[in-house]
Amino acid sequence: MGAVNRAAVEAVLRQYTDPYLNQDPVSAGCVRAIDINGEQVSVTLELGYAAGLFKNGFAQMLQLGIEGLEGVARAKVQINCVIAAHKAQAQVPGMANVKNIVAVASGKGGVGKSTTAANLALALAREGARVGMLDADIYGPSQGVMFGIAEGTRPLVKDQKWFVPLKAHGVEVMSMAFLTDDNTPMVWRGPMVSGALLQLITQTAWDDLDYLVIDMPPGTGDIQLTLAQKVPVAGSVIVTTPQDLALLDARKGVEMFRKVNIPVLGVVENMAVHICSNCGHAEHLFGEGGGEKLAAQYGVELLASLPLSMLIREQADSGTPTAIAEPESQIAMVYQELARHVGARIVLQEAAAPAMPNITVSDD
């Protein structure tokens, strides 16, 4: 029986593809250590995105592959998730205590953007990340309701300067709704709204977050431009329905983020299909394949496709969105996939960014 070596172990690892990075662990640069002690092999991998519910199964698969090598009696594979701060727009300084900001946006209202943002934040937290949720929909804040925070709850103020975010379901939450009366409309002009958003982001005492999810207001106006110019956003997620009108507005959202140099991580398609609760008949009420076409048109990924489901609405309204209300359900699993894809896309976006050329000065 021949002795195993590092090259043989790497050859096995190259046979398995991380479904979120779309590369094998060796090519993706995830290998941190390969220790060989006789017939015992120990491998340590590091993923740059939150994958707490995925990593153990992946590790077991790799372990079985390595144990199939001649000369290996026992293998151990450990996978750690280490989330780093990734590149945002040039000339925008990073934020203390927040590593990555993800903007969830839509071209128009009523497409399920806020529900998607809430479930994305909760799914990231279930994967082991430290997560915050900022409700930037100043005119129609809804995250307080979705996270089950009682009306009238106010954040504490620290050192007469910082808002202390509220905590719900393991996520730090901040919203303009916590500072105003729920029954009073926000009759503000654009500059006031932009100023309020910046104050919410920069004067909230976030506690060392891996991801801050921002629930954006619909459209492409002042708030979106303020965010692009003043806040270091690692990437955006565009939410749409298959309906032609929604897709038309979603395209504007994609174009806006591209113009301000914020990567579009992908598209989420809501209300893709309705399944009759009585007979099981599937019907595409808002059209079919719209999200896929939009993603293909702009060369981005269709991150998730979700059904038109009464359950999603009921659970969000009750303050326990689907990702935590029924964590083992099929819909919750779609949100977990969405969370892993978003985290992985942020890693891949930075890896794909062109390197700046080296400038050398000679005396010639």
Claim to verify: residue 115 and residue 62 sit in the same structural domain: no
Claim to verify: residue 125 and residue 255 sit in the same structural domain: yes
Pairing label, strands 40-47, 31-37: antiparallel
Query: Per-residue DSSP letters for 284-344?
Result: -TT-SSHHHHHHHHHT-EEEEE----HHHHHHHHTT--HHHHSTTSHHHHHHHHHHHHHHH
* Residue 140 placed within a domain: yes
Claim to verify: residue 119 and residue 252 sit in the same structural domain: yes
Claim to verify: residue 186 and residue 237 sit in the same structural domain: yes
* Residue 41 placed within a domain: yes
Claim to verify: residue 291 and residue 153 sit in the same structural domain: yes
By C-alpha distance, which of 325, 344, 268 is closest to 113? 268
Claim to verify: residue 232 and residue 155 sit in the same structural domain: yes
CATH of the domain at 169: 3.40.50.300
Number of domains in the chain: 2
Burial of residue 89 (number of CB atoms within 10 Å: 0-12, 13-18, 19+): middle
* Residue 58 placed within a domain: yes
* Residue 212 placed within a domain: yes
Claim to verify: residue 206 and residue 328 sit in the same structural domain: yes
Cα–Cα–Cα angle for 210, 213, 215, rounded to 5 degrees: 170
Give dist(CA 46, CA 80) in Å, integer. Answer: 5
Q: Please list the residues that pair with 348 across neighbouring strands.
A: none
CATH of the domain at 13: 3.30.300.130
* Residue 126 placed within a domain: yes
Task: Give the model's pLDDT for residue 282.
Answer: 56
Phi, psi (rounded to 5 degrees) for 287: 100, 175
Kindly report each contact of residues 189-194 with a partner whose C-beta sits within 8 Å and lies 24 or more positions away, as own/partner. 190/221, 190/222, 190/223, 191/222, 193/138, 193/139, 193/222, 193/223, 194/222, 194/223, 194/225, 194/226
Claim to verify: residue 44 and residue 165 sit in the same structural domain: no
Claim to verify: residue 216 and residue 74 sit in the same structural domain: no
Cα torsion through 224, 229, 20, 282, rounded to 10: 10
Task: Give the model's pLDDT for residue 116.
Answer: 93
Give dist(CA 27, CA 13) in Å, integer. Answer: 9
* Residue 90 placed within a domain: no
Claim to verify: residue 180 and residue 250 sit in the same structural domain: yes
Q: Coil, strand or helix: which one is 125? A: helix
Claim to verify: residue 207 and residue 292 sit in the same structural domain: yes
Q: Show the beta-strand stretches assigned E in the chain.
A: 31-37, 40-47, 74-81, 98-105, 131-135, 156-158, 162-164, 166-168, 171-175, 209-215, 235-240, 264-269, 274-275, 282-283, 301-305
Residue finishing a domain among 21, 47, 81? 81
Residue finishing a domain among 53, 81, 109? 81
Q: Which residues form the domain of 111?
A: 98-352
* Residue 210 placed within a domain: yes
Claim to verify: residue 141 and residue 72 sit in the same structural domain: no
* Residue 50 placed within a domain: yes
Q: Provide the residue-wise pLDDT of the chain in tens; the chain has 364 residues.
A: 467 889 999 999 999 999 999 999 999 999 999 999 989 999 999 999 999 999 999 999 999 999 999 989 999 999 999 999 988 877 777 788 999 999 998 876 778 889 999 999 999 999 999 999 999 887 778 898 999 998 888 899 988 889 999 999 999 999 888 877 666 655 566 667 777 788 888 889 999 999 999 998 877 777 778 877 888 999 999 988 876 666 777 787 788 888 888 899 998 988 765 565 666 545 554 555 556 777 777 778 889 888 877 788 889 888 999 999 999 999 999 999 999 999 999 999 877 655 444 444 445 4
Task: Give the model's pLDDT for residue 180.
Answer: 72
